[in-house]
């Protein structure tokens, strides 16, 4: 068994406030994927990965098909991926991943929250050294599979030997999450698909390499800031280096 990652994102897509927001944000991701590689998931691996995430989040098939159809009629530059970074309260680094069709609105929204919590929004790339960028894949574990052997096979795709393993009692199944080099996203996805693994989610993520201790009171304030950021539809993920 591999060593479980000690680090976690502050919040994940699964923790969105309600299902409507979840579907809205996944719809934006579908639009980006369609604009990049077309509407056919068989030939568009990025779209195929997002559809797997949609199914895991219980997004109805008709919603997925409608999002693909709508994306085909959109300007390819409708949505842009933007990452905003800065320091929140108590010197905690905060990364905010967004998908937006109006960067002026989005940066104003994000800055307003940083200001409200006495934080400072920095320039793009200013805090990149505090986080490692990964392609993250989650998939259902097969009976009797050897993770050490699998990791050895994935070394050529720069997959870390550290992984997460989570058992769901309600579904009686185990999910494995692995982390690899971002530029190996397509290769890792192909390996998993070719070897019959059921992918439940696939995304790019940031993992902090310099964790900071906080008090319970400080954590409460930071959690409130994260929640406020996640209220914006443009926000996809929020990451911090809070331990």
Specify if 3 maps to a domain.
no
List the domain range (segments joined by +) for residue 123: 80-129+209-240
Are 142 and 192 in contact by the 8 Å Cβ rule? The answer is no
Q: Domain check: are 121 and 218 in the same one?
A: yes
120 with 156, same domain: the answer is no
Query: Is there a domain that residue 171 lies in?
Result: yes
Q: Which residues pair with 202 in a beta bridge?
A: 137
Residue 225 included in any domain: yes
Q: Give the pLDDT confidence of 97-137 residue by residue, as tens digits.
A: 999 989 999 999 999 999 999 999 999 889 989 999 999 99
CATH number at residue 163: 3.30.70.980
Low-confidence ranges of the chain (pLDDT < 50): 1-17
How many domains does one find in the chain? 3
Q: What is the 3-state secondary structure (H, E, C) of the chain?
A: CCECCCCCCCCCHHHCCCHHHHHHHHHHHHHHHHHHHCCCCCCCHHHHHHHHHHHHCCCCHHHHHHHHHHHHCCCCCCCEEEEEEEECHHHCEEEEEEEECCHHHHHHHHHHHHHHCCCEECCCCCCHHHEEEEEEEEEECCCCCCHHHHHHHHHHHCCCCECEEEEECCCCEEEEEEEECHHHHHHHHHHHHHCCCCEEEEEEEEEECCCECCCHHHHHHHHHHHHHHHCCCCEEEEEECEC
Q: Which two tokens stand for residue 37?
A: 């590689």
Q: Is residue 143 part of a domain?
A: yes
Please check whether residues 166 and 105 belong to one and the same domain.
Answer: no
How far apart CA 67 and CA 162 sit, in angstroms, is 35
Domain end: 72, 99, 120, which one?
72
pLDDT at res. 25: 83
Domain assignment present for residue 198? The answer is: yes
The answer to whether position 105 is within a domain reads yes
Q: Are residues 42 and 137 in the same domain?
A: no
- Asked whether residue 1 is assigned to any structural domain, the reply reads no
Domain check: are 22 and 57 in the same one? yes
Structural domain contains residue 5 = no
């Amino acid at each position: 068994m591999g060593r479980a990652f000690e680090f976690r994102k502050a919040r994940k897509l699964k923790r969105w406030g309600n299902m409507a927001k979840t579907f809205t944000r996944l719809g934006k991701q579908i639009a980006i994927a369609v604009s990049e590689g077309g509407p056919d998931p068989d030939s568009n691996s990025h779209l195929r990965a997002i559809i797997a995430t949609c199914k895991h989040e219980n997004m109805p098939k008709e919603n997925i098909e409608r999002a693909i159809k709508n994306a085909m009629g959109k300007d390819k530059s409708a949505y842009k991926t933007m990452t905003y970074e800065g320091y929140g309260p108590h010197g905690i680094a905060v990364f905010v991943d967004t998908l937006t069709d109006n960067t002026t609105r989005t940066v104003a929204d994000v800055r307003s929250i940083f200001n409200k919590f006495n934080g400072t929004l920095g320039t793009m790339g200013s805090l990149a050294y505090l986080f490692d960028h990964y392609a993250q894949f989650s998939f259902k574990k097969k009976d009797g599979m050897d993770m050490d052997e699998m990791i050895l096979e994935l070394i050529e795709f720069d997959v870390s030997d550290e992984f997460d393993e989570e058992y769901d009692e309600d579904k009686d199944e185990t999910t494995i999450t692995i982390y690899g080099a971002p530029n190996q996203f397509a290769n890792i996805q192909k390996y998993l698909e070719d070897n019959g693994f059921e992918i439940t989610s696939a995304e790019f993520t940031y993992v902090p390499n310099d964790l900071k201790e906080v008090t319970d009171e400080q954590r409460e304030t930071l959690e409130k800031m994260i929640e406020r950021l996640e209220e914006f539809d443009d926000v996809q993920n929020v990451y911090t280096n809070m331990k």
